[in-house]
């Protein structure tokens, strides 16, 4: 419960702006990632309709909404994971630090290293814990020697709060860990390539409440170092971990704003209905 208190503290800048519902940020420094008028089609079916949103460095952004509302689809557009689906088509602009990530000259491999992803189901490689973490730095050439690599592995595991639990068995298989540990391993694996943004697609939906609490705590600690976007079904979780919340419904962004506002004083009827559990 201590998590609740942490997040629900009054935020530093609680200005509602006119652009709140479109998700465009007009305050503070330049946003880490921006999306403008994004449409996503799967074949003929439109999954995302004209979504514009900003993601800031200093805050955790939560995407909430009923199943099938497009929040995961939108998240996967942000590091072009949708490229792997042949029928998916994305229009509109998504930028990372002002660079269009869908521009032809953008290297997808580098983009995905800069915008890391944590998936719904923990998916460690069937390799040792060490190799799970070291894989990313190895393929991107981030470490020049064994010592540097060891250092990256240790610091990544430490940041993911897993070091103490696994430091004596780094050569054990990553798949032998418990579900919550596996998910933290996956977060450590994402951190190891030194990303700027971490996308989390319902990272706790396969975990028990204790493991969930640990992940949420971890998200708190990572905030500020990385821009974090988290998709969640769990509205309490969104309230606990995020500073900004975006509510998606039927492929459109209904409302985007400070988490406290969304949960205490939503502007849209639909948002109010959803967070009070009247539908969805």
Partner 1 sequence: MNSLTETKRRPTDWQGAEMQKRIAGRYAAERRFKAMGMAAIALSASFLAFLLVVMVGNGFLGFTQTELPVEIDFPAVTGGASPSQFQGPNAEANLQVMGLREIVDSSIEIQYGPEGTDLFSSGAWTAVSAKILADPDIVEQKSTVNLPVVSDLDVAYKDEGNPEAEAKVSELSGQFSTGFNWNFLSNSDATDPMQVGIWGAFKGSLITMIVTLMLAFPVGVLAALYLEEYAPKNRLTDLIEVSINNLAAVPSIIFGLLGLAVFLNFFGMPRSGALVGGLTLALMTMPVIVISGRNAVKSVPPSIREAALGIGASPLQVVFHHVLPLALPGILTGTIIGMARALGETAPLLMIGMRAFIATPPSGITDPATVLPVQIFLWSDEVDRGFVEKTSAAIIVLLLFLLIMNALAIYLRNRFETRW
Q: Give me the sheet containing 115-118, strands edge to edge.
A: 115-118, 197-201, 227-231, 60-64, 244-249, 252-258
Binding of residue 79 to partner 1 (CB under 8 A): yes
Is 102 among the residues that bind partner 1 (CB under 8 A)? no
Residue 14 interacts with partner 1 (CB under 8 A): yes or no: no
Interacting positions 138-197 with partner 1 (CB under 8 A): 139-140, 173, 175, 186, 189-190, 192-193
Of 116 and 161, the one with the shorter C-beta distance to partner 1 is: 116
Please name the helix (run of DSSP H) or strand (run of DSSP E) that holds residue 201, with its range, or none: strand 197-201
* 3-class state of residue 245 by DSSP: strand
Question: How far apart (Å, rounded) are the C-alpha atoms in residues 3 and 220?
Answer: 9
Residue 88 sits in the site that holds partner 1 (CB under 8 A): no
Q: Does 117 bind partner 1 (CB under 8 A)?
A: yes
Asked if 113 interacts with partner 1 (CB under 8 A), we say yes
Interface region with partner 1, contact rule CB under 8 A, candidates 8-16, 112-120, 147-155, 208-216: 112-120
DSSP structure string for 63-120: EE-STTSSHHHHHHHTTTGGGGSTTEEEEEEEEETTEETTSTT--HHHHHHHEEEE-S
Beta-ladder partners of 33: 55, 96
**Which of 31, 65, 70, 124 is the binder for partner 1 (CB under 8 A)?**
124
Instruction: Find the binder of partner 1 among 10, 29, 86, 141 (CB under 8 A).
Output: 86
Binding status of residue 16 toward partner 1 by CB under 8 A: no
d(CA 63, CA 246): 5
Residues found near partner 1 in the complex (CB under 8 A): 79, 81, 84, 86, 109-114, 116-119, 121, 123-126, 135-136, 139-140, 173, 175, 186, 189-190, 192-193
């Amino acid at each position: 419960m201590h998590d609740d208190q942490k997040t629900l503290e009054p935020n530093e800048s609680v200005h509602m702006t006119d652009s709140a519902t479109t998700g465009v940020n007009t305050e503070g420094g330049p946003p880490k990632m921006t999306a403008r008028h994004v449409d996503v089609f799967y074949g003929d079916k439109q999954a995302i309709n004209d979504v514009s949103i900003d993601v800031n460095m200093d805050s955790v952004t939560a995407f909430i909404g009923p199943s099938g509302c497009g929040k995961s689809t939108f998240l996967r557009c942000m590091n072009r994971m949708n490229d792997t689906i042949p029928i998916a088509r994305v229009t509109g602009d998504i930028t990372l630090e002002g660079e269009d990530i869908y521009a032809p000259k953008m290297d997808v491999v580098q983009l995905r290293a800069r915008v890391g992803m944590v998936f719904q189901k923990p998916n460690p490689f069937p390799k040792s814990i060490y190799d799970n973490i070291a894989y990313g730095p190895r393929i991107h050439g981030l470490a020049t020697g064994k010592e540097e690599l060891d250092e990256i592995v240790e610091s990544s595991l430490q940041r993911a709060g897993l070091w103490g639990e696994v430091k004596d068995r780094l050569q054990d298989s990553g798949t032998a860990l418990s579900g919550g540990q596996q998910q933290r391993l996956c977060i450590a694996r994402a951190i190891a390539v030194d990303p700027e943004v971490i996308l989390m697609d319902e990272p706790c939906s396969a975990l028990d409440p204790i493991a969930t609490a640990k992940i949420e705590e971890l998200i708190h600690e990572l905030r500020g170092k990385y821009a974090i976007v988290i998709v969640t079904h769990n509205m309490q979780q969104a309230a606990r971990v995020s500073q900004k919340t975006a509510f998606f419904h039927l492929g459109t962004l209904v409302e985007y704003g400070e988490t406290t506002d969304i949960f205490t004083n939503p502007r849209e009827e639909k948002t109010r209905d959803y967070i009070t559990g009247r539908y969805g």
